[in-house]
Homo-oligomer: A and B are copies of this chain.
Amino acid sequence: MRALVLFSFLLVGCLAQRPRKCTSPPLLTGSFSVSTQSERLMAFAKFSYDALGKRIRLREIGSYDNKTFHGDVLLLYREGVMFHINYRNRTCCKKPLNVDFHPLEIPQNASLVGQVVVGSSSGPGQGVLVNTWAGELQQKQGTAKYISTVTEFGCIPVSSLFHTRENGWVITSFFNNVIGLVDPQLLLPPPFCKDAQLEDTDGEEPVTFFSLF
């Protein structure tokens, strides 16, 4: 009888270890690459992410339809503005940001695809345990499928696949993430942005970090 009770407790303990939908650390600095199945887009970005202050800084370089582009944007969701920053020319373009801040997290209606070790669990430093989740996001154009992978320990983003009508699957791979802000100043508008006037952007849709998810 005692063995049965012990077994039940063990079983409950094991069941409780089923991966949970999680939220990534509120302060995160890292990089990601984005590429599309259509091969139209290929980009590489460094990001600073502050879920407490609802701020994101993205500096990216890439190519779209074989044309290279650079981007440097600061998204301040609490103020509802975004800055397109050009350090070389010291110019700044301020636009309204009328979307809600979405923290980096696994949505509540996501389904667990599975838990695997990337690399190996046979030796120290040889692998990392990750959980993969899938679901659908409601969008203006209808629902869009996504598959997101995060680490079991720390809920650090690893990769995300997002299906778009235009370019098929969009693959985002995260790397070199550290918890915290390596340079908090990147989340402040640079001095030459002080006098930027808010531009009107009727009909334009702001591109955000999260339109990639």
| Contacts from A to B (Cβ < 8 Å) | 30-31, 37, 39, 116-130, 151-154, 156, 158, 174-180
Q: Which 3 A-B pairs have the closest CB atoms?
A: A122-B179, A116-B175, A125-B153
Contact indicator A154/B37 (Cβ below 8 Å) = no
Per the bound structure, the CA–CA distance linking A120 and B124 in Å amounts to 15
Nearest CB of B to A160, in Å: 13
Contact indicator A179/B120 (Cβ below 8 Å) = yes
Contact indicator B122/A180 (Cβ below 8 Å) = yes
Per the bound structure, the CA–CA distance linking A151 and B123 in Å amounts to 11
> CB within 8 A of A126: which of B119, B123, B151?
B151
Assembly stoichiometry (copies): 2
Nearest CB of B to A62, in Å: 16
Contact indicator B153/A123 (Cβ below 8 Å) = yes
Contact indicator B121/A154 (Cβ below 8 Å) = no
Other than the given A118-B158, A121-B177, A122-B178, 14 more pairs (CB < 8 A) read A37-B37, A116-B176, A118-B174, A119-B130, A119-B154, A120-B178, A120-B179, A123-B154, A124-B153, A125-B153, A126-B153, A126-B156, A127-B177, A128-B128
